[in-house]
Copies of this chain bind each other. A is one copy, B any other.
Amino acid sequence: MRSNDRSSGAAPGAEDVAEAAGVSPSTVSRCFASPHQVRPETRARVLAAAERLGYRPSRIARSLAEGRTRTLGLIVPDIANPFFAVIVKAVQARARRKDYAVFLADTDEHPDDEYELALTLARQVDGLLLVAPRMDGARLGEVVRQVPSVAVNRSVSGVPSVVAPSEDGLRQAVAHLHALGHRHLALILGARNSWSSEQRGHAVRYAAEQLELKVTEFGPHEPKFHTGAQVADLALAAGATAIVAHNDLMALGVLSRLAERGVRVPDDVSVVGADDTLLATTATPALTSVRIPLDALGERAVDLMLRRLDDPSRVPEELLLDSELIVRRSTGPAPRKES
């Protein structure tokens, strides 16, 4: 019972195909690796035999021999979060088109797991895509040294990254609200140490300042539905006529609480979300939101990675994508002052 026992259910190897086609295993290998290096006639014979036997080269063995796995590692904080899910989907699709497989790791928002996972994956993938890495600089450096990495949605000096700053979109949002007559807006911040929350906070503050809009800030808060709901009352009490939330989820919390209180959106209060996830489109009323080109983020991350892989001399670069405001029904003219 040797390996070239074609009658058994075991997967056929290159050797089996070689025998069936009357060539050497080397030739079989070449037929798949560099088809043009083998005479068309021979190739046809080999391919036929392979087809007949249902032969597929073992990626494992190939990886070991080639020294590369044709696999990308993807580390995400939370796949169940629609924001990340879209990125994952894009990465996955892009990678597959390039004949790369994807190892998925969900850290469930635990930065420690992130590091540990990165190290584990480092050995078995050609490159690592770190989505919104929470890792501290030192550890990130350690990881980056071990395996080609690309940071997604978080710019880290010295690490190639692809980022879609929400600034553009938020600036547009503030301008939008200003144009609608709003003069006082509430800003709901995200998580305490979140890089993106800080970026977003800055963007709104700055834009508001330019337009001489008053801003009342709330947070930092865990970016959850219920915190949004909680803050809604505070924002109202503060007298804001428009509420800009850190993300769609929080904005939905706001929407929900306002509805409960009978406050009309957008007649009484306007609400803006961010990320433009599925949640924004399916909300009632549909949520005006800052769209981050998530699919592009994922695709470009893969492209950047692959480009680096076949020319490692390339310098780390940072890729910026534009965000934009998508106006929907949750924003409208500011209510007239009831003086």
Task: State the A residues within 8 Å of B (CB).
Answer: 9, 11, 56, 58-61, 63-64, 69, 74, 78-80, 82, 85-86, 88-89, 92-93, 96, 101-106, 108, 119-124, 145-146, 225, 249, 252-253, 255-256, 259, 278-279, 281-286
A58 CA to B69 CA, complexed, in Å: 12
A89: which B residues are within 8 A, CB to CB?
Answer: 78-80, 106, 108
Q: How far is the CA of A286 from the CA of B69 in the complex (A)?
A: 46
Task: State the number of copies, please.
Answer: 2
Q: How far is the CB of A260 from chain B (nearest CB, A)?
A: 8
Bound-complex Cα distance A270 to B159 (A): 52
Q: Are B85 and A104 in contact (CB under 8 A)?
A: no
CB nearest to A113 among chain B residues: B96
Q: Which residues of B contact A286 (CB under 8 A)?
A: 256
Q: Are B225 and A80 in contact (CB under 8 A)?
A: no
Give 7 closest A-B pairs by Cβ, nearest first: A104-B104, A252-B282, A259-B284, A256-B284, A59-B124, A79-B89, A92-B106
Which residues of B sit under 8 angstroms from A124, Cβ to Cβ? 58-60, 101
Check A103–B103 contact: CB distance below 8 A.
yes
Show 28 residue pairs from A and B whose CB-CB distance is below 8 angstroms, ordered by the A residue.
Answer: A11-B123, A56-B119, A56-B120, A56-B123, A60-B64, A60-B124, A61-B64, A64-B64, A79-B79, A79-B88, A79-B89, A80-B278, A82-B278, A88-B104, A88-B106, A89-B108, A93-B106, A101-B124, A102-B104, A103-B103, A104-B104, A225-B281, A256-B282, A256-B283, A256-B286, A279-B282, A282-B283, A284-B284
User: CA–CA, A92 to B79, complex, Å?
Assistant: 10
CA distance A89 to B78 in the complex (A): 8
